[in-house]
Structure 1
Amino acid sequence: MSNEAKAYQDPGTPEEVSRRAFLARATIFGGTAVALTLAIPLIGSLVPKAQLVEANKGFSPLNKDEFAQLEQSIDKPVKIFFNKAVVNGYLREATDYYVWGIKLTDAELADMRKERPDLFNPQPGAAIDYPVGNLNFVMFSSLCPHLNCKYDWDTGLGAFLCPCHGSQFNKIGVHMKDARGKFIGPAPRGLDPLPFNQEGGTAQVEWIKFAANTPDIVRMSYW
């Protein structure tokens, strides 16, 4: 056994001891918080995708006052909000979404059928396998088909305008062209219609997120 004397180490003042203890606890707490933050997405990824898809499918009621406004609007679209319970892994969270509602005249519905026949004659397995123009209403996704930016209705243009990259769409969702016949903006397709119906007097919509930056309409998720 060594007979060498060990140097005395001053633990410091009570304040210094308390400070070191606080920093140690803070480090442990911070590490735990980071671990939990990383674990939540991991837990979500353990849930089978098919199970997530089924959990997020379904219709959500539209805001009644805003839909009532749409029923009276024949000259411009109406932004209509709805609340959807989004299931992500084992978490369930109420999330606000909105759509652009269009009340179509019979002539506009006929134009839409002519300009966008793919929406009305779906092939087996097509992304649009539900009625479009149901009850003379169309609910467009609020996401631009270019890069999923949020677009808006421009009253001056009389058209939808995506402020990010300049794509323009007319009232029935057709990607517009300029005087030279070139598409205005880089969007690869027209606006995406969503499933819509009325049940028990309540207007409702099903949210679907479609793939961005492709000419084909491809379903990606329901949240």
Structure 2
Amino acid sequence: MKFAVIGGTGLIGSQVVKDLNAAGHEAVPHSQSTGVDVISGQGLNEAVAGADVLVNLTNSPTFDEASLTFFQTSMDNLLAAGRKGGIRHFVILSIVGVDQVPELDYYRAKALQEDILTAGPVPYSIVRATQFMEFMDAVLSWTADGDTVRLPATPIQPIASEDVAKAVAEVAAGAPLNGIHNVAGPEVFPLDELGRITLSHKGDNRTVVTDPAAGMFAAVKGDVLTDMDAHLAPTHYTDWLS
């Protein structure tokens, strides 16, 4: 099969392209660097022409309210190009629990992306993943102040991007689910404890202070970002750190 992977040069996209090609498919990466713009629509028709499956792994450049406009416009343009090109399967990557955190603009935007896809004319699959292990450094930086990092005890189930990419590639190569496939890491940690593990491994002497009001994940109630009933990926966080 032929796959048009939009956002195919990024962290997840580049690995999805590699996995699909290794499985004997033809996966072509597209991004702004290759002349494809999901907001203006430039190059989209050409990117999806002749493809059987459209995989959209683009992401909003911001996490604020502007992300709603990004996903609305990009999905409208991609669905139009997919319909014109005769795409038979449209796949996106989303977030476990994304519809349970309306307080966060970015999560509302990703939920909107899902809604646009499910209401569209193309058979689809949604892969929801838990938080990427690769993002922990960024999470730590958001609330770092001198020798202190403030983090809430929000339950997090970190997953390696490699495992996310494999799940996306497998779903994309299969029949449309017209539904959601959840994938998650094998362990759940309180975010503050995950921060301590990360800093200790790096030999970083900063102190993690548990603060229920600190950072983006402070808005998350309960354990909605975890799912032990999901397909559990094999990579453990401490092994990934090593």
Rg (Cα) greater in structure: 1
TM-score bracket for the superposition, by shorter chain length: under 0.3
Query: What TM-score do the two structures reach when normalised by structure 2?
Result: 0.22
Higher helix fraction (1 or 2): 2
Higher strand fraction (1 or 2): 1
Query: What TM-score do the two structures reach when normalised by structure 1?
Result: 0.23
